A = this chain, B = another copy of it.
Amino acid sequence: MQSSYRSIRPCLTSNVKTLTRLQSRSLATAAQQSFFADEPTAPHLVSQSIPGPSSSQISQVIASFQEERAHQFVVDYEKSVGNWIVDVDGNTMLDMFAQIASIAIGYNHPRLLELARSDEFIKATMNRPALGSFPPAKWAEWIETGLLANDVRPKGLDHLFTAMCGSCANETAFKAVFMAYRARERGEGVSFTPEELDSCMRNQKPGAPDLSILSFTKAFHGRLFGSLSATRSKAVHKIDIPAFDWPVCPWPAVKYPLDKFAAENAKAEQDALNIVEQTIIKQREIKPVAGLIVEPIASEGGDQHASPAFFQGLRELTQRLGVFMIVDEVQTAMATGSLWAHSKWNLPTPPDAVTFSKKLQAAGFYHNLDLKASLPYRNFNTWLGDPTRALQAREILRVVREDNLLDNTAKVGAYIYENLENFTQSNGKGKMFNLRGKDQGTFIAWDAETPEKRDEVIKKMRSKGVHLGGCGEQAIRLRPMLVFQKHHADIFLENLSNVLKEI
C-alpha cells in the first residue's frame, strides 16, 4: 500500500485541553487531520484472537529455523501505514509499541519510500563501504546535514562514532572511555609500555586493565558482553552469560508523580548520589570506574525516572572524580518531546558521550574530543555503521523538523498524561499506579497491580485493536511514534477506559 503524508501542523494548541469525561464515540469524531492521508480511522479486527491463524501458521514455519516464542504476531509491512500496523490476518491495530520503540515517523512514510527510490540511496545501500578506510564521497555531507546538523547533535558534542546497533553503540562508547581513562592516567604523549603491549594479548593487566563501567539497577544498555555487564534489567537477559565484575548502584527510590513528592525525591536522589560517590571511591582500590552510563529514563527496566537535579549531581560528581559520563539515549532520543531527553537537564557541562540507535535507525555515539582514540584502528571495525541508515536518519530528522514532530509529541504526550491522571482517580483507581512521564512527551508509563494484571491489560487492549508494550515487572509503557496525534490518543484513551472498567 502506498501511503501519502500530509505535512501539516498538528491541530493541538499548546494549551492542551484535558479530556475530563470520556464518551464512547465522541472522541473518534473529534479527529483532527492526520499526517497520513490514508491512515485508518479506527482499529479493525478480523481474527478472533491475536495472533490469528495466519500469524500462527507463519510463526510455526519460522520455528523450524529460528526462535519464534517471542513472536506477538506476523506483520504485513506493506499494508501497515502511519501509526497503524496490519498483521497477516488483516487485523489493523493502532501501534503504540512501534517495533520496541524504534519506528519514528510511521510505517511506509512517503518521504522514506521516496528516499529509498533515490539513486543516491540505492548506490549507498548496495556498495556498502568499510567506512573507516574508504568513505564515500558524500559521507561528510550526509553526516553534517543529518546526524551532526546544528539542531541535531547534542550540545557540546561535535564528534560522532557510527555503529550498527544500540549494543554496539554502548560498547564502542565503553571502549572509547577505557582508552581515554588510560590515556589520562598515562599522561600526554606517553606511549604504551612493552609490558602493556604484551599483557593485553593475554587478556591480562596492565594491558587489559582492571577498569569498570558503573551502571544502575534496572538499567538496560544492551545484550552483548560489555553492554550486558552494564545491563541490570532482568535475570532472563543475563543468566548463564559470563559478565565483568562491574559495580551497580541503586536508582534513586523516587515516588511518582515526581513533582508531588519533590522533597522526598530530592532526598532519595541525594542518597543515590552519595552511594554513587562512595562506590566510585571504593572501586579505586578494586576496579576503578572509568565510566558511568545512565539512561534519562531507565526504559526496559520499567521506566524509572529521576529529576534533572539527579543528573546534574551525576555530572558534577563524575567530573569531580574523573569518571566519564555516558548518557544512553537509545530509547529516549526523539521520544520525550525534545530531540534528546538529557537536553532538559540543563547540565553544567555536557556528558562525555551520548549513545543512540532505535528511532534514528542509525546507531553510534556523539562524543567530545577526549573520547577520540589516540591512534587509528583502535576503535575500529569493518563497517563502522551503515550509510543506508545514516541517510535514513537524515530524512527522518528532516521530517521531524519540517512537521514539528517533537512539538507534536510534547503536546500529545501532555494530553495523554492529563487524561491518564484523571483515569487514576476514576476507572483506573486501584488499577493504575505510579503514573510517570509528565512533560516527557509520549514517554509515559504506569504500573498495574501485578505482572499478570499488566499482561491482561495489554491483551485486552490488543483485542480492541490497540497494540501496547510492557516493561519492567508490571509496567505498561507508551511508545507511540512521533506522528501520533490527538485523535490517535483518543482511540487509545477510550479503549483503555473501557478495559479499566472490565478488569
Residues of A within 8 A of B (CB): 58-59, 61-62, 64-67, 69-78, 80, 85, 88, 99-100, 102-103, 107-109, 112-113, 115-117, 119, 121-130, 132-137, 139-140, 143-144, 148, 158-162, 164-168, 171-172, 174-175, 178-179, 181-183, 192, 196-198, 200-204, 207-212, 222-227, 229, 232, 235-246, 248, 357-358, 361, 372-373, 375-383, 388, 392
Contact yes or no, B134 A58, CB < 8 A: no
Q: A135's contact among B74, B116, B125, B209, by CB below 8 Å, is which?
A: B74
The residue of chain B having its C-beta at the shortest distance from the C-beta of A364 within the complex is B66
Q: Give 13 CB contacts A-B under 8 Å.
A: A58-B137, A69-B375, A70-B132, A77-B136, A113-B122, A164-B165, A166-B381, A166-B382, A174-B225, A200-B239, A200-B243, A208-B240, A236-B375
A47 nearest CB across to chain B (Å): 15
CA distance A203 to B75 in the complex (A): 37
Count of this chain's copies in the oligomeric assembly: 2
Q: Given A100-B130, A203-B246, verify A78-B223 contact (CB < 8 Å).
A: no
Q: Is the CB of B66 within 8 A of A361?
A: no
A-B contact sample (15 more), CB < 8 A, given A74-B137, A164-B165: A65-B144, A65-B158, A75-B136, A99-B130, A108-B126, A116-B121, A165-B168, A167-B168, A174-B225, A179-B241, A197-B235, A200-B235, A201-B238, A236-B378, A240-B378
Name the distance in Å between A68's Cβ and chain B's nearest Cβ.
Answer: 8
With both chains docked as a complex, state the minimum distance between the C-beta of A212 and any C-beta of chain B, in angstroms.
7
Closest residue of chain B to A111 (Cβ to Cβ) is B126
Q: Once the chains are docked, how many angstroms separate the CA of A144 from the CA of B172?
A: 33
A137 with B76, Cβ < 8 A, contacts A102-B130, A102-B383, A130-B102 known: yes
Contacting pair B164 A164 (CB below 8 A) = yes
Tell which of B64, B124, B128, B242 touches A209, judged by Cβ atoms closer than 8 Å: B242
Closest-CB distance, A493 to chain B (whole angstroms): 24
Q: What are the 10 tightest A-B residue pairs by CB atom distance, in nearest-first order?
A: A225-B226, A69-B376, A203-B243, A70-B376, A208-B243, A77-B127, A164-B164, A116-B122, A182-B240, A99-B130
Contact A240 B130 (CB under 8 A): no
A288 to chain B, nearest CB (A): 11
Once the chains bind, are A135 and B102 in contact (CB under 8 Å)? no
A201 and B383 form a contact (CB under 8 A): no
A115: B residues at CB distance < 8 A: 126
Nearest-neighbour CB distance to chain B for A316, whole angstroms, equals: 26
CA distance A94 to B124 in the complex (A): 20
Taking A165-B381, A224-B225 as contacts, is the C-beta distance between A211 and B99 under 8 angstroms?
no
Are A71 and B148 within 8 A (Cβ)? no
Contacts of A383 in B (CB 8 A): 102, 165
A338 to B115, CA, bound (A): 37
Contact in complex: A192, B235 (CB < 8 Å):
yes
Q: Shortest CB–CB separation between residue A163 and chain B, in angstroms?
A: 9
- Whether the pair B158, A238 counts as a contact (CB closer than 8 A) is no
- With A126-B108, A166-B382, A224-B225 already in contact, the answer to whether A134 and B237 are too (CB < 8 A) is no
Contact B102 A237 (CB under 8 A): no
Task: Choose among B70, B80, B178, B373 the residue that contacts A127 (Cβ–Cβ < 8 A).
Answer: B80
CB–CB B168/A224 < 8 A: yes
Q: How far is the CA of A69 from the CA of B223 in the complex (A)?
A: 30
Cross-chain contact of A107 among B127, B204, B379 (Cβ < 8 A): B127
Contacts of A240 in B (CB 8 A): 178-179, 181-183, 200, 207-209, 378
Q: How far is the CA of A112 from the CA of B442 in the complex (A)?
A: 39
| Smallest Cβ-Cβ distance to A95: which chain B residue | B134
Q: Which residues of B lie under 8 Å from residue A239 when comparing CB positions?
A: 192, 196-197, 200, 207-208, 378
Chain B residues whose CB sits within 8 angstroms of the CB of A112 once the complex forms:
126
Shortest distance in angstroms between A240's beta carbon and chain B's nearest beta carbon?
Answer: 4
Contacts of A160 in B (CB 8 A): 65-66
- Chain B residues in 8 Å Cβ range of A144: 65
Q: With A143-B66, A211-B242, A241-B175 as known contacts, state yes or no: A137 contacts B168, CB within 8 Å.
A: no
Contact B201 A134 (CB under 8 A): no
**Inside 8 A of A64's CB, which chain B residues have their CB?**
158
Query: Closest CB of chain B to A36's CB: distance in Å?
Result: 14
Q: Which residue of B lies closest to A80 (CB)?
A: B127
Chain B residue at minimum C-beta to C-beta distance from A72: B133
CB nearest neighbor in B for A238: B200
Assess the A244–B65 pair: CB atoms within 8 A: no
Q: Are A171 and B65 in contact, with the CB atoms below 8 A?
A: no
Q: A70-B380, A133-B100, A160-B66 are in contact. Are A126 and B392 (CB under 8 A)?
A: yes
